[in-house]
Amino acid sequence: MRAIKVPHRLKMSIIFLLFISLLVPTAQSVRFGRLLFASPTTHHRTHPLRRRPTVSSASDPGDLPTNFEFICRDPPVASPFLRDVQWMDISSDGLPPDDGAPPQRWQRTMPLYPLPCVHLPDRTSTATLVNLELRNIRMALDLDAPDRRAPPLFCAVLVAADSGRIAKVGTILRAVNVDVQYQTGCGGIGHDGIHDVRRAVVTAVPEGLTTIQKIRNPEAWEGSRSSYLLAEVEEGDCGEGINSVMTSTGGEGFAAWIYGQVRSIYVAEAERGDGGGPDPLLPPAAARSIREELRPLLPEDFGPGKFWSAASLFQSLCHTVREGRVATLRADVDEKLVKSALSKGGGLRLPIRLRDVDEKTRRDIRLMQESEARDYIATGMDPALNFQAIISAKGHLERLDTLTQIMCSELQRLQKKGYSIDVSGE
């Protein structure tokens, strides 16, 4: 096997993860499935939260939120890079002013779109955002206004569910289509422009990374529900320029090998397809196309020119693993909700909401959600914070290092579950 040069900075952080065990049990039988989120769809109802840092503060009792700032302050052992994620208050003045020197890159003002997920600057992908909240509907309508002179750009940025703060690095998206859907019986926009709109679906493509310099109207976040945020942003470095190719090292080959090991385990179990087992790797509904979606990658796919597509593919896998956990949690939550509702006697009224059941059931469900969320975060397959760390990293090498650590952590997790790796490299 051809030797692969591994950058020194990677060795200490991942060699223990890879070769902790050479003798592992026979692989388990697990049902697999389709990658569910290659093109993320976001149903957005973000509100500013000022709660204590717990993982059970999501409004949906069957959800598994991971966008918590407190996790970055005390990250899991497998994710030390989360400490490098920087946050800012929406109500603050942003970054301190410079010494008066002209900016190194362009600066402009654009709508700011806080989200509980992370969009990567993969220009081969598209994102679909389903806007239900008034401020987001107004932003969508403004982006699609026929008399708009500025490009239809906006900045998607991760918002912390516990602190309400936002990450300092976001992704610029360009709206390419806005589908406005009206309330029943309404054939057009109402007198104030938005109240007859039921939802606005925005299809967007990534343009690049950006650093948020300042929030121009922080009062809009906690004030009027029909006003959206505007931010002064500065162009970031995606590492895709012509000169960035010069930074390529042997780390790309090593990352491709790690990815290949993880992929081979998922694809092999997808091909077996002989049962889900007590702890399946992926939701059974995804079994039909895991082999096609989780495509092989070469070292050059992890180079500066194609890195974001490779990162986006692995993020899709993380989204799918998360959805499997969510499906299991929701089934358990629904069982408790139905049991509590039936205990009251009489007919069963649907839907059953958390506020409709007794206090003990609500407490049990919150504890169940918190326990499952902590277990999931510990797997290292988080599609939010891990990939925020990647877009926050400085330059291609640091991003490659972070993605490699994420993939190594998953390989170690699979080893502990009894899956074997191919150390021969053939």
- pLDDT at residue 38 in the model: 40
When mean pLDDT is compared across 221-225, 277-281, 406-410, the lowest value belongs to 277-281
Residue 296 makes CB contacts below 8 A (sequence gap 6+) with 260, 263
Sign of CA dihedral 337, 340, 344, 347: positive
pLDDT exceeds cutoff 80 at 301? yes
Mean pLDDT of 384-394: 96
**DSSP letters for 111-123:** EEEEESS-----T
Kindly state the DSSP code that residue 49 receives in the 8-state scheme: -
Burial of 292 (0-12, 13-18, 19+ CB in 10 A): exposed
In terms of DSSP bridges, do strands 127-131 and 41-44 run parallel, antiparallel, or are they unpaired? parallel
pLDDT exceeds cutoff 60 at 242? no
Count the helices and strands in the chain (H runs, E runs): 10, 9
Q: Which of the four pLDDT bands, split at 50, 70 and 90, describes residue 390?
A: very high
Record the tokens describing residue 176, joined without a space. 């390419």
> Tokens 């629904």, residue?
334
- Read off the pTM: 0.80
CA separation (Å) from 370 to 339, 374, 384? 20, 6, 17
Q: For 129, phi and psi rounded to 5 degrees?
A: -120, 120
- pLDDT at residue 397 in the model: 94
User: How many other C-beta atoms can be found within 10 angstroms of the C-beta atom of residue 320?
Assistant: 27
Q: Give me the residues paired with residue 44 across strands.
A: 131
User: How many other C-beta atoms can be found within 10 angstroms of the C-beta atom of residue 17?
Assistant: 20
Question: Which of 239, 246, 241, 173 is CA-nearest to residue 402?
Answer: 239
User: How many other C-beta atoms can be found within 10 angstroms of the C-beta atom of residue 144?
Assistant: 16
H or E element, residue 231: strand 229-235
- pLDDT at residue 100 in the model: 53
Residue type, 131: N
> Tokens 């959206």, residue?
228
Residue 272 makes CB contacts below 8 A (sequence gap 6+) with 29, 30
Question: Which of 384, 342, 388, 386 is CA-nearest to residue 361?
Answer: 342
Q: Could you tell me which residue, 244 or 386, shows the higher pLDDT?
A: 386
Q: Is 275 left (phi over 0), alpha (psi -120 to 50) or beta?
A: left
Q: How far apart are CA 209 and CA 155, in angstroms?
A: 9
C-alpha dihedral (325, 326, 327, 332), degrees to nearest 10:
90
pLDDT exceeds cutoff 80 at 20? no
Please check whether residue 274 is in contact with residue 253, taking contact to mean a CB–CB distance below 8 angstroms: no
- At how many degrees (to 10) do helices 307-342 and 395-416 cross? 50
CA separation (Å) from 12 to 247, 270, 405? 21, 33, 11
- pLDDT at residue 167 in the model: 97
H or E element, residue 80: none
- pLDDT at residue 368 in the model: 87
pLDDT tens digits for range 148-182? 888 999 999 999 988 999 999 999 999 999 999 88
Please check whether residue 228 is in contact with residue 135, taking contact to mean a CB–CB distance below 8 angstroms: yes
- pLDDT at residue 311 in the model: 97
Question: Which of 146, 104, 138 is CA-nearest to residue 217?
Answer: 138
